[in-house]
Structure 1
């Protein structure tokens, strides 16, 4: 599952990002309206975490623009106690939930989980290719009819490959799907995930195109 956090406060943002990544989410962080709007146009997110701290009511305007453009991700706004009016305005503008700061990160994780459960009425397409089946909404993966457990990162790699099974995906493309903007050590990481997937479904199911990347058989 992929989240975007729109938050100017670097200290607060880093705590949220670290906590959500430990929970298995891919998280992008944007700290101004322009870069946030660009990310929302170009990427697909399951949850938007929107702090109401951008200047001149830009947070609310960003939310209104996103909803008018058809943006359907669940949106949780983060506010201060004195922002009751802005909080109400955000809910009218299309926010699904809100939390006041200081944030309890455990509660935030639960709120996100509940938003994702609520979204199950808006099911994502089940992906099928040969003996593979991946359900993004239920977070389930089956090989030859048998359900297999995949780690969140393995699931993200398989999801990327199954969305376009005939196309060769570069390592950079797969890394973007898994890590977002995370500054993590990615040395050979994709190769490691591909190898663990091959051990689970068979080495011939994922092909290596030397010097380019990977695709499904």
Structure 2
């Protein structure tokens, strides 16, 4: 709404007669806008300048006003430009930091892989040593078992032979003393695994001892005239 005597705001229009069409005209007076009102902050023509409304107002030429405005704008933009430069530096620093972090992550992953491989190799080595040690123990146990088995079998055979010999001797008729004494197989020196031994002790009157041969020290039993006696300290090995 516009009151009587009030001027309309100046809205520049293009000059159709201008070769370039870039010169603007005042919409009130159709004059070229050559001045810029510093109070109203808008371009005006020379006719507008002489109006009562613009009395005591300062004007600048369009070129001067544009230059001043450009300088003011540059001054206003300078902090923004500095901020932009700082942000660019920060961005560059962040990029470098991110790249450094990537390198550290890669190095960390490599180190982790090396540690894992070293641990796996060490673990495998321990497993190999454990397997080798257990194998050696099992082989030793098996050998000991075989040796003990063979020794037991040999002792069993000797015991069986001695038992047969003793049984044959004990079964001889007591009445045939002469033939019994003349039989070489009945003498202690010719009986396999048996021989006459000294007295078990030093006390006179004790029965003579018959030794179990090489196994006398194993079982700790000796045979005297009256039967088997425990006399490990006096055993004799054939």
In which range does the TM-score fall when normalised by the shorter chain?
under 0.3
- TM-score of the aligned structures, taking structure 2 as reference length: 0.19
Structure of greater relative contact order (alpha carbons < 8 Å, 6+ residues apart): 1
Q: Rg: which structure is higher?
A: 2
Greater fraction of residues in strand: 1
- TM-score of the aligned structures, taking structure 1 as reference length: 0.20
Greater fraction of residues in helix: 2
